[in-house]
Amino acid sequence: MTTIIFETPRLRARRLDSGDVEALLSVYGNAEVVRWVADGHPLSRERCEQWVEVTQNNYRTRGYGMFALEYKLSGQIVGFCGLVHPAGQPEPEIKYALHQVVWGQGLATEAAGELLAYGAREHHLTRVIATTAPENIASHRVLVKAGMTLGPLRTNSDGSQTQVFVWSGSECANAA
């Protein structure tokens, strides 16, 4: 049974299931799409299968995780978004990745804004962060349009830097 999480004018977000491995691989297996994700290396089928398992555990323990983004009219998966806690970090972090063919259509902003509203509405989240490479200007624009504010530049243990964005419950009206 498909669990719909939220809808936007063009998209439907739903929980992942084991049948989504191919769709995950088509997004996260693309080197250009994952250029800004984690270590920048495409994921293997095995890692996508593990991702579905981890995500389903997150649904059980937190009530949220990563979600498939589908066009409402066709049901075609165009990407993924969600609220996660990478490496067990205490505060939730928004993540998203879309098929390269739909970049530039405003879908990431549409999904991110509604994802923040969903987190506040359904899980009473009052603070959500996002992290990006400082050079990833496209994601910076998406996050600001979705209602997040520019936060600090964080230095990682390897000396690299990460740009942090912050959303707080006081901005809930902007994300709804």
Output 41 or 124, whichever has higher pLDDT: 124
pLDDT tens by residue, 105-121: 999 999 999 999 999 99
- Domain holding 16: CATH number? 3.40.630.30
Please, what is the average pLDDT of the chain?
92
Q: What is the pLDDT of residue 172?
A: 47
Tell me the CA distances in angstroms from 28 to 21, 51, 63, 78, 175, one per residue in order: 10, 11, 23, 12, 26
Is pTM beyond 0.85? Reply is yes
Residue 64's pLDDT band, with cuts at 50, 70 and 90, is very high
Q: Structural domain of residue 80, as residue ranges?
A: 4-175
Number of independent structural domains in the chain: 1
